[in-house]
Structure 1
Amino acid sequence: MQGAIFDIDGTLLDSMSMWDHAGEWYLERLGHKAEPGLGKILLPMSMEQAANYMREKYCLEQTNEEIVSGVEETVSRYYREEVLPKPGVKEFLTQLRNRRFVMAVATSSSRKEVEAALSRCGLKPFFKQIFTCTEIGAGKDKPDIYEAALSCLGTEKTCTWVFEDALHAAVTAKKAGFPVAGVFDEASEREQEELKRVSDYYLKDFNDFPAFYRIASGAGE
């Protein structure tokens, strides 16, 4: 093992529940009580559709554009002030760094929020570079972001692990030739059995570094 590429949301940061509550928190700021299960209602919608739903459902005076901006600010504030790493993450990254592994971030979230969260949580110094899907121009249904991170790290692909909690992203990395470490997250619990099957190693949490390292050290053999 020479390097590692880490997803952020649901992998390093315990942030996926935020997406269930962003609309609710925004409405609370406006003095409205959200209906039960609002996050599940909004999840399949685009930002514009979600804004229109909230405007009509809660008789908001704001335009759709103002609602989208308000929800985005709610999300941004959460990253800047509240989100926490998953248990054991900092110790896990320290173990990798002590063994001279180079690391990068590959995320679907925006650079501003990710950098703010990683800096506040003391994790940013572990990473050589941060790559975002927006800047790369492709989502994680394509391997572009992993290939860009690999090029930056300068490591061999078969010795560079991709850490992901989302099944579709793990499948993409695996098909591209990377060894994959699946990471448990409650938000994607229904995908976990399939994620285990796809992954070369599966982490229930970040406290089992010795077991992971034994597997990872032989990945390039």
Structure 2
Amino acid sequence: MDAVLFDMDGVLVDSEEYWVTFEREALFPDAVPDETVDLAETSGMNYRDTYDYLATTYETAISREEFVCRFEAAAEEIYTERVAVLDGLHELLAELDDRGVSRALVSSSPHEWIELVLDRFDLEGEFDHVVSADDIEAHSKPEPDVFEYAAEKAGVPPDTCVVVEDSENGIEAGDRAGTTVVAYRIDAHGDIDLSPADTIVDSADELRATVLELVD
């Protein structure tokens, strides 16, 4: 394997538990008050695409502008005050660097949110490439666009890439891109479909060991 493509939310930082609480308890009941939305439907999507999906699939009760503003306010708090970084991340990135394996952060989040995480956890320069879905005219996960683009940026074929993902949409996107997918199972997502993944891990230690085994 020539490159490892890490999702950010739920993998590099434990933000999904906060996003799930925010969406389930505060945002979605206002946005689609007459429906109970399975959060797996939108997990891994860019937040702007999330509104578009809800508006198309259900009947929304708030404007796109309000939805976006509330998401952006939540992001500031979640990334600067709440999240913790994956245990052993710096050591894992250093070991991949020693092996000559390209490291990319690939997220549906905008660059502004990614920079909050990079700054807070001293990760600037730790990735060879930082890719946001905003970088390309792409469809959100589960479409494979963002992982295909990240592989292109790394200069390697997708089938020589490992994708580390936690969400159902992200796992499907990595599979559809033709990568080897490591599914990181976290409590925030509950019982989601992990079947497209090549490997499933349940802890940070297992994630690190599996990634290093795949690239060796």
TM-score, normalising length: structure 1 = 0.73
Give the equivalent residue in structure 2 for 1:59.
none
Letter in 2 for 1:41: P
The 5-angstrom pairing of residues 177-188 of structure 1 reads: 177-188=178-189
Give the equivalent residue in structure 1 for 2:175.
174
The 5-angstrom pairing of residues 107-186 of structure 1 reads: 107-137=107-137, 138-186=139-187
Give the equivalent residue in structure 2 for 1:18.
18
- Say which one has the larger Rg: 1
**SS of structure 1 residue aligned to 2:112:** helix
Structure 1 vs Structure 2 CA RMSD: 3.0
Relative to structure 1, is the Cα distance of residues 21 and 153 closer, same or farther in structure 2, using a 3 angstrom cutoff? same
State the identity as a percent: 24
Q: Is the 8 A contact 1:18 1:75 kept in 2?
A: no
Letter in 2 for 1:187: A
Q: Is the 8 A contact 1:133 1:140 kept in 2?
A: no
Aligned residues: 192
The 5-angstrom pairing of residues 45-84 of structure 1 reads: 46=51, 52=62, 69=69, 71-84=71-84
Q: Is the 8 A contact 2:3 2:154 kept in 1?
A: yes
Relative to structure 1, is the Cα distance of residues 67 and 143 closer, same or farther in structure 2, using a 3 angstrom cutoff? closer
Give the equivalent residue in structure 2 for 1:207.
205
Q: Is the 8 A contact 2:30 2:61 kept in 1?
A: no
Q: Is the 8 A contact 1:103 1:127 kept in 2?
A: yes
Query: Deviation digits for residues 160-204 of structure 1, max 9, x if unmatched?
Result: 11111112221222122111111112121211xx31x32222221
Q: Quick one: distance in 1 between partners of 2:70 and 2:29?
A: 18
**SS of structure 2 residue aligned to 1:73:** helix
Relative to structure 1, is the Cα distance of residues 178 and 68 closer, same or farther in structure 2, using a 3 angstrom cutoff? closer
1:41 equivalent to 2:17? Answer: no
- Structure 2: gaps of 5 or more residues: 32-36, 38-49
TM-score, normalising length: structure 2 = 0.74
Q: Is the 8 A contact 1:51 1:67 kept in 2?
A: no
**SS of structure 1 residue aligned to 2:9:** coil
Relative to structure 1, is the Cα distance of residues 210 and 65 closer, same or farther in structure 2, using a 3 angstrom cutoff? closer
Q: Quick one: distance in 2 between partners of 1:188 and 1:11?
A: 12
Relative to structure 1, is the Cα distance of residues 202 and 64 closer, same or farther in structure 2, using a 3 angstrom cutoff? closer
Letter in 2 for 1:135: D
Letter in 1 for 2:18: M
Q: Quick one: distance in 1 between partners of 2:127 and 2:189?
A: 25
Q: Quick one: distance in 2 between partners of 1:205 and 1:156?
A: 28
Q: Quick one: distance in 2 between partners of 1:20 and 1:169?
A: 16
